[in-house]
Amino acid sequence: MRGSLTASDFDLFLDALDRDRDQAAGKYIALRERLEKFFEWRDCENVEELTDIVFDRAVRKLIEGEDVKNTEAFCVAIAKFIVLENRRETYRKSELDETLNASLPEDDNNSDEEEVKDKRFQCLDKCLSEFPVHKRDLLVKYFDTDEDTMIPARKRLAEKFGINL
């Protein structure tokens, strides 16, 4: 279990597994192994961490007074949701990695600097097009200054948009 739970929280969880302390400890170990296998079978990384998250959430629900009839089944149900969350997060990360890799120029010694600049500007344009027009204009104007005029330009920009410095 992660460090956020106290000994009394863990005792509450063990009590929910079984009134007999020795039986509860055995059930906890068996459940932990079952959940770790559950995550392994679903190709999840950080199996132990995900298992800890299941127990954390289960204990939190018990503390909140949730009426849990079958603690083991309850933990498996939580694990199913965690798998979905984990897959969603993994998908988002891979999608972001693909976007970054596709937009960055390849490390080719033969490519000239102008081509690299063009690709970077295309990437920047693509990213900026995701913003609403007013936010995009603010970003462009914020960074479109040289070092000598940066502070006065940003002060004027702040006044124009009603931003306090």
Residue 51: CA count within 13 A, CB half-sphere: 20
- Look at the block and give the residue holding tokens 């079952």: 34
Instruction: Say yes or no: 44 and 124 in one domain.
Output: no
Model pLDDT for residues 141-150, shown as the tens digit of each residue: 777 777 777 7
Domain contains 101: no
- Quickly state the pLDDT bin for 36 (edges 50, 70, 90): very high
Instruction: Say yes or no: 82 and 26 in one domain.
Output: yes
- Quickly state the pLDDT bin for 100 (edges 50, 70, 90): low
Is the pLDDT confidence value at 103 over 70?
Answer: no
Domain contains 49: yes
> Of 95, 126, 142, which residue constitutes the final position of a domain?
95
pTM exceeds 0.85:
no
Distances 159 to 68, 144, 147, 148, 155 between C-alpha atoms, Å: 57, 17, 19, 19, 6
Share of the chain above pLDDT 90, in %: 41
Instruction: Say yes or no: 84 and 27 in one domain.
Output: yes
Is the pLDDT confidence value at 157 over 60?
Answer: yes
Domain contains 102: no
> Of 48, 67, 95, which residue constitutes the final position of a domain?
95
CB-CB contact of 28 with 14 (8 Å): yes
C-alpha 113/C-alpha 126 separation (Å) is: 20
Residue 45 tokens, joined:
């990384």
**The domain containing residue 118 runs over which residues?**
108-161
Instruction: Say yes or no: 112 and 90 in one domain.
Output: no
Instruction: Say yes or no: 23 and 65 in one domain.
Output: yes
Report the pLDDT averaged over residues 24-32: 96
Instruction: Say yes or no: 91 and 35 in one domain.
Output: yes
Residue 160: the pLDDT is 79
Model pLDDT for residues 46-99, shown as the tens digit of each residue: 899 999 999 999 999 999 999 999 999 999 999 999 999 988 887 777 766 666
Instruction: Say yes or no: 90 and 157 in one domain.
Output: no
- Quickly state the pLDDT bin for 37 (edges 50, 70, 90): very high
Q: State the chain's mean pLDDT as an integer.
A: 83
Instruction: Say yes or no: 86 and 115 in one domain.
Output: no
> Of 63, 95, 127, which residue constitutes the final position of a domain?
95
Going by C-beta distance under 8 Å and a sequence separation of 6 or more, which residues neighbour residue 105? 111, 115, 116, 119, 120
Helices (H), 18-149: 21-41, 47-63, 71-103, 113-128, 133-143
Residue 27 tokens, joined:
């059930």
Is the pLDDT confidence value at 107 over 60?
Answer: no
Q: How many domains does the chain have?
A: 2
Instruction: Say yes or no: 20 and 87 in one domain.
Output: yes
The larger pLDDT score, comparing residue 83 to residue 138, is at 83
Residue 89 tokens, joined:
């997060």
Q: Phi/psi of residue 82, each to 5°?
A: -65, -35
C-alpha 137/C-alpha 140 separation (Å) is: 5
